[in-house]
């Protein structure tokens, strides 16, 4: 980047000497070298008028100056693009309307209709910590070589609110910036299936255009792929599109809240394809990352609370980034209201109030989920039967009740048909040790856990 | 070059072209218009590097050539010789001689080779629309676009196609106007964002023309072609906010009033409003009360009762009088509907029975 800026600055310096001042400032304002590729230099210009003029009038002069500075330059291409003017520290202008009251809520609606990307998501405000560094590294590798890299497809999974969408949209935006010729498209699996259903409704012509629409992209990003479960025909269509794109070395990125193997009712052929490239997970951020995230968020909001408050927030709030953001917003709002920074003691009750209550599920509900998973009658679990197909779900239910919901052994025994607490202990131990050796059992338990 | 042409025709074109020239550019050539001969006609070009125009007018050409002369000066000359039917222009060494029956005028021209080229669009999508429909669409929303260019994408008019309509939209983030114009052409896959200053020039030029215009759009440029005029303008490369999501689907209070009544009341009320033109509406459908009040501690206050048909919940809402006034002027119907969704949600204004125009304005804080 700096190389380009420096080269262009030197070129402009030379050109300035050759041209009249008026000419120079009119035609070379807001121009820049966007990239150099194998001797071809791409120069960004603010509009078509300038593009025409530089091409017709100044092309030779510019080329000569560039060659003087760097010998291997063969040619110049001009493209019209938006170039950010160097940011001048302006005093915040008081808009006429600023005290008019509320604005129309348009801020979040700047979504590019053509590629579905929200320009708000960039790598600039993406915070990297040990929880997401692998995913970040993979995304950077993709940016270097879109399509023709080992990370195709890239599958990113992790719980909600950990920045999956931010990351994959940032990849899209970055690719758009560095490769203006590549066609990028972002969609969610839900939109994809709606699109599919609509085209089925409208008949064969719409179907054909649907099929073609997704095959022209150089980078296809599909968010929240887990919602494709149980949508067989949509999956099939995705499968075909995937194959087509993959064979043409087009980059594909998916995100989901689960590992593809644990997405229920997903076709095996899709699962195996998802696993073909790179599967990375995003974990919950650890303390240091939470601290960094809170600081960055506070800074973008121009809010500078004392460090101890940020530290307290980071240490006491576990869980996802969205919740952290929500809490911080709440605190900013509170301190704006009171017109001063809040003290630690004022924040403590606030966190308690907003911290989400632990999920309260009754034993019955949990047992029901397990039974549904193994498709057996719920009542069998409570009966005194040792049939194998009943025994296993019962033991797993006990194990989950103990491990995930911290219910005491005697209570579990009592609730599941008046069994002795030693029976429950045995069941838990058994499942625990079986899981280590039995991969399919582990997957089953994981899948059940995902349902809570 | 040497040619003779009708004074009235060339005057009209030069006046239009001069609007587009750059008034205080560091590059003097941009304040000029370029005349070029083209078999039996001459081409007049002008540009400020935002918009470029090209007129073609019939002329009796005796010798080919071109010349760039100051637009404002040329335009003033032509308006000062209203009695002449034809004028003859002959140019040698960039000195332009204008000869009429009774007058001889000499102007110093610029080197025509320095005149910028006007981009021609050959690729991209195209659509055709009647010029007056286009102007109608733009004019209906123009006043809502943002004036400052801090956010270039909203100091623009956004035009896109949806179903059987060509939709024009503009917003300054406090109010929003949308106008639908019937459209029968093919699908246009991408919308186009045209800077407000540029689109004003475009409609000014097409105002006196009544024919179909062919629009061609690319990611960076738009061109409008009619029989005798070619206009091209930069477009904003950016994203227009997906405003359709904030258009309310239903409402809690609905008021139907005569437009003229409301205009008169607002005119009176704004005399007493504060610097944000705040006008308060107190509406109670049950008591059949529609009260409009304004208050200014320095001048005084007003209270007007408006005859209106109302339904829904009672509401007290403060709106910007200027915003209301702006939109009332663009509504043709005699009666208008105001729909509210609570004192802090945008209010919708439409002409009665007219779904083609929608105006949204954000209430002021109390």
Q: What is the mean pLDDT of each run of 10 residues along chain B (366 residues)?
A: 92 92 83 91 92 93 92 92 90 91 91 89 89 93 86 89 92 92 88 93 90 91 92 89 87 93 92 86 91 89 91 92 89 92 89 92 82
**Would you call A206 an interface residue with chain B, using a CB distance cutoff of 8 Å?**
no
Q: Are B191 and B15 in contact (CB under 8 A)?
A: no
The DSSP secondary structure of B160-222, one letter per residue, reads EEETTEEEEEEE-SSEEEEEEEE--S----S-EEEEHHHHHHHHHHHTT--SEEEEEE-SSEE
Determine phi and psi for B60, rounding to 5 degrees.
-95, 100
Distance in Å, alpha carbon of A100 to nearest chain B alpha carbon: 6
Same domain, A260 and A176: yes
DSSP A88: P
Q: For residue B312, what are the β-bridge partners?
A: B253
Angle subtended by helix axes A421-437 and A388-405, to nearest 10: 90
Q: Are B339 and B248 in contact (CB under 8 A)?
A: yes
Same domain, A336 and A376: no
Q: Give the span between the Cα atoms of A294 and A46, in whole angstroms.
A: 37
Q: Give the span between the Cα atoms of B353 and B285, in whole angstroms.
A: 21
Q: Are A284 and A320 in contact (CB under 8 A)?
A: yes
Token code pair at residue B288 = 């059949």
Same domain, A176 and A207: yes
Counting the structural domains of chain A, the total is 4
Same domain, A383 and A340: no
pLDDT at A96 (0 to 100)? 41
Residue A321 has pLDDT above 80, yes or no: yes
Query: A39 a known binding residue?
Result: no
Same domain, A6 and A53: yes
My answer on whether omega of the bond before A446 falls inside 30° of 0, hence cis, is no
Does the predicted model carry a pTM greater than 0.90?
no
CB contact under 8 A, B30 and A80: no
Q: Give the span between the Cα atoms of B122 and B139, in whole angstroms.
A: 28
Nearest to A282 by CA among A189, A371, A426, A167: A167
Give how far Cα A301 sits from Cα of A88, A154, A298, A325, B253, Å. 20, 32, 5, 11, 36
Among the partner residues A26, A105, A110, nearest to B239 by beta-carbon distance = A110
Which three-class secondary structure state does DSSP give residue A113? coil
The strand order across the sheet containing B86-92 reads B60-63, B2-6, B86-92, B95-99, B104-108
DSSP A37: E
The strand order across the sheet containing B175-182 reads B192-195, B156-162, B165-171, B175-182, B357-361, B347-351, B335-340, B253-258, B308-312
Distance in Å, alpha carbon of B242 to nearest chain A alpha carbon: 5
Q: Provide the CATH number for the domain around residue A335.
A: 1.10.8.60
- Answer whether residue A388 is part of any domain: yes
Please give the torsion angle defined by the CA atoms of residues B199, B204, B210 and B213, in that order, rounded to the nearest 10 degrees: -30
Same domain, A141 and A10: no
Q: Give the span between the Cα atoms of B340 and B363, in whole angstroms.
A: 10
Nearest to A164 by CA among A112, A202, A221: A221
Q: Give the span between the Cα atoms of A264 and A302, in whole angstroms.
A: 44
CB contact under 8 A, B220 and A80: yes
Q: Give the span between the Cα atoms of B17 and A365, in whole angstroms.
A: 77
If you average pLDDT over residues A36-43, what whole number do you get? 83
Segment of A81-90, A255-264, B160-169 carrying the highest mean pLDDT = B160-169
CB contact under 8 A, B49 and A104: no
Domain range spanning residue A378?
363-450
Residue A417 has pLDDT above 80, yes or no: yes
Q: Give the residue on B whose Cα is nearest the Cα of A82.
A: B237
> How do residues A353-390 score in pLDDT, each as one tens digit?
655 445 567 888 888 888 888 888 888 888 888 888 88
Q: Are B207 and B222 in contact (CB under 8 A)?
A: no
Q: Give the residue on A whose Cα is nearest the Cα of B360.
A: A104
Same domain, A143 and A267: yes
CB contact under 8 A, B176 and A102: no
> How do residues A274-283 score in pLDDT, each as one tens digit?
888 888 888 8
Here the ipTM equals: 0.77
- Domains of chain B: residue spans and CATH: 2-114 (3.10.150.10), 125-244 (3.10.150.10), 248-361 (3.10.150.10)
Residue with the bigger pLDDT between B287 and A339: it is B287
Same domain, A168 and A225: yes
Strands B221-225 and B229-234: antiparallel
Q: Give the span between the Cα atoms of B235 and B216, in whole angstroms.
A: 12
Same domain, A317 and A349: yes
Given A282, A309, A341, the domain boundary residue is A282
Question: Mean pLDDT of all residues in chain A?
Answer: 82
Same domain, A300 and A186: no
CB contact under 8 A, A21 and B276: no
DSSP A55: I
- Answer whether residue A92 is part of any domain: no
Residue with the bigger pLDDT between A376 and A85: it is A376
Given A282, A297, A326, the domain boundary residue is A282
Q: Give the residue on B whose Cα is nearest the Cα of A56.
A: B117
Q: Are B174 and A97 in contact (CB under 8 A)?
A: yes
Which three-class secondary structure state does DSSP give residue A87? coil
Q: For residue B160, what are the β-bridge partners?
A: B167
**Would you call A113 an interface residue with chain B, using a CB distance cutoff of 8 Å?**
yes
Same domain, A277 and A292: no
Spell out the alpha helix ranges (H) of A317-420.
321-338, 344-354, 363-373, 378-382, 388-405, 409-415
Nearest to A444 by CA among A391, A382, A392, A380: A392
pLDDT at A204 (0 to 100)? 83
pLDDT at A271 (0 to 100)? 85
Q: B-chain residues within 8 Å CB-CB of A26?
A: 25-27, 30, 49
Strands A154-158 and A251-256: parallel
Q: Give the span between the Cα atoms of B181 and B169, in whole angstroms.
A: 11
Q: B-chain residues within 8 Å CB-CB of A111?
A: 239, 242
Among the partner residues B30, B117, B346, nearest to A56 by beta-carbon distance = B117
Q: B-chain residues within 8 Å CB-CB of A82?
A: 237-238
- Answer whether residue A110 is part of any domain: no
Residue A97 has pLDDT above 60, yes or no: no
- Answer whether residue A109 is part of any domain: no
Q: Give the span between the Cα atoms of B83 and A283, in whole angstroms.
A: 84
- Answer whether residue A123 is part of any domain: no
Q: Provide the CATH number for the domain around residue A157.
A: 3.40.50.300
Given A330, A354, A378, the domain boundary residue is A354
Query: A234 a known binding residue?
Result: no
The string over B19-49, giving b where at least 16 C-beta atoms fall within 10 Å of a residue's C-beta and e elsewhere, is bbbbeeeebebbbbbbbbbeeebbbbbbbbb
- Answer whether residue A104 is part of any domain: no
DSSP B110: B
Distance in Å, alpha carbon of B318 to nearest chain A alpha carbon: 10
pLDDT at A355 (0 to 100)? 52
Same domain, A244 and A185: yes
Q: B-chain residues within 8 Å CB-CB of A100?
A: 174, 276, 320, 362, 364
CB contact under 8 A, A104 and B173: yes
Query: A326 a known binding residue?
Result: no
Query: A164 a known binding residue?
Result: yes
CB contact under 8 A, B221 and A80: yes
Q: Give the span between the Cα atoms of B1 and B65, in whole angstroms.
A: 4
């Amino acid at each position: 980047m700096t190389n380009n800026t420096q080269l262009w600055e030197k070129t402009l310096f030379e050109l300035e000497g050759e041209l009249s001042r008026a000419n120079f400032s009119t035609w070379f304002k807001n121009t820049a070298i966007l990239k150099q590729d194998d001797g071809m230099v791409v120069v960004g210009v603010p509009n078509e008028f300038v593009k025409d003029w530089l091409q017709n009038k100044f092309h030779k002069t510019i080329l000569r100056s560039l060659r003087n500075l760097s010998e291997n330059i063969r040619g110049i291409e001009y493209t019209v693009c938006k170039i950010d003017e160097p940011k001048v520290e302006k005093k915040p202008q008081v808009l006429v309307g600023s005290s008019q009251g509320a604005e129309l809520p348009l801020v979040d609606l700047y979504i590019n209709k053509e590629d579905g990307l929200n320009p708000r998501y960039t790598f600039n405000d993406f915070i990297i910590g040990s929880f997401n560094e692998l995913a970040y590294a993979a995304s950077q590798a993709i940016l270097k070589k879109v399509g023709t890299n080992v990370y195709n497809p890239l599958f990113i999974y992790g719980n909600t609110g950990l920045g999956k969408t931010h990351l994959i949209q940032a990849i899209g935006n970055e690719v758009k910036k560095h490769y203006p010729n590549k066609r990028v498209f972002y969609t969610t699996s839900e939109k994809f299936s709606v699109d599919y259903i609509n085209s089925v409704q409208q008949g064969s012509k719409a179907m054909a255009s649907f099929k073609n629409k997704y095959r022209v992209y150089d980078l296809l990003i599909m968010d929240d792929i887990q919602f494709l479960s149980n949508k067989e025909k949509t999956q099939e269509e995705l499968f075909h599109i995937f194959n087509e794109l993959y064979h043409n070395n087009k980059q594909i990125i998916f995100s989901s809240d689960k590992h593809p193997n644990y997405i229920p009712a997903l076709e095996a052929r899709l699962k195996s394809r998802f696993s073909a490239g790179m599967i990375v997970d995003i974990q919950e951020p650890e303390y240091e990352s939470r601290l960094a995230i809170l600081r960055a968020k506070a800074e973008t909001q121009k809010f500078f609370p004392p460090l101890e408050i940020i530290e307290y927030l980071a240490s006491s709030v576990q869980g996802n980034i969205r919740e952290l953001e929500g809490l911080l917003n709440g605190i900013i709002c509170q301190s704006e209201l009171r017109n001063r920074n809040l003290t630690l003691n004022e924040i403590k009750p606030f966190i308690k109030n907003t911290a989400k209550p632990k999920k309260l599920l009754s034993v019955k509900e949990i047992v029901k989920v397990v039974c549904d998973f193994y498709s057996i009658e719920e009542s069998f679990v409570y009966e005194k039967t040792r049939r194998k197909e009943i025994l296993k779900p019962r033991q797993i239910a006990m194990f989950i009740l103990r491990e995930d919901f911290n219910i005491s052994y005697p209570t579990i025994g009592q609730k599941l048909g008046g069994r002795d607490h030693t029976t429950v202990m045995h069941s838990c131990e058994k499942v625990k040790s079986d899981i280590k050796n039995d991969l399919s059992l582990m997957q089953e338990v994981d899948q059940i856990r995902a349902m809570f | 070059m040497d040619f003779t042409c009708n004074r009235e025709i060339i005057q009209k074109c030069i006046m239009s072209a001069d609007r587009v020239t750059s008034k205080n550019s560091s590059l003097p050539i941009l304040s000029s218009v370029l005349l070029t001969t083209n078999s039996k006609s001459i081409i007049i070009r002008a540009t400020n590097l935002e918009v470029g125009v090209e007129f073609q007018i019939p002329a009796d050409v005796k010798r080919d050539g071109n010349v760039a002369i100051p637009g404002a000066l040329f335009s003033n000359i032509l308006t000062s010789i209203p009695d002449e039917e034809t004028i003859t222009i002959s140019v040698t060494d960039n000195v332009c001689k204008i000869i009429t029956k009774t007058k001889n005028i000499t102007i110093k021209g610029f080197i025509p080779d320095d005149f910028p080229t006007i981009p021609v669009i050959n690729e991209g999508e195209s659509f055709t629309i009647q010029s007056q429909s286009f102007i109608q669409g733009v004019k209906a929303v123009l006043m809502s676009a943002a004036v400052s260019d801090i956010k270039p994408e909203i100091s623009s008019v956004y035009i896109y196609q949806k179903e059987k309509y060509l939709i024009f939209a503009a917003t300054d983030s406090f109010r929003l106007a949308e106008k639908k114009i019937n459209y029968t052409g093919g699908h246009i896959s991408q919308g186009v964002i045209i800077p407000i200053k540029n689109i004003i020039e475009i409609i000014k030029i097409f105002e006196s023309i009544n024919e179909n215009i062919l629009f061609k759009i690319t990611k960076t440029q738009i061109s409008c072609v009619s029989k005798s005029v070619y206009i091209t303008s930069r477009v904003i490369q950016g994203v227009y906010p997906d405003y359709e999501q904030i258009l309310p689907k239903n409402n809690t209070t609905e008021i139907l009033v005569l437009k003229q009544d409301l205009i008169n009341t607002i005119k009176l009320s704004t005399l007493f409003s504060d610097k944000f033109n705040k006008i308060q509406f107190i509406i109670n459908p049950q008591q059949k009360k529609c009260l409009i009040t304004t208050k200014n501690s320095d001048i005084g206050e007003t209270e007007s009762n408006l005859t209106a048909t109302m339904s829904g919940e009672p509401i007290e809402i403060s709106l910007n009088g200027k915003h209301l006034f702006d939109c009332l002027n663009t509504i043709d119907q005699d009666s208008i509907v105001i729909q509210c969704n609570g004192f802090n949600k945008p209010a919708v204004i439409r002409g009665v029975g007219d779904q083609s125009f929608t105006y949204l304005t954000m209430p002021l804080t109390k």
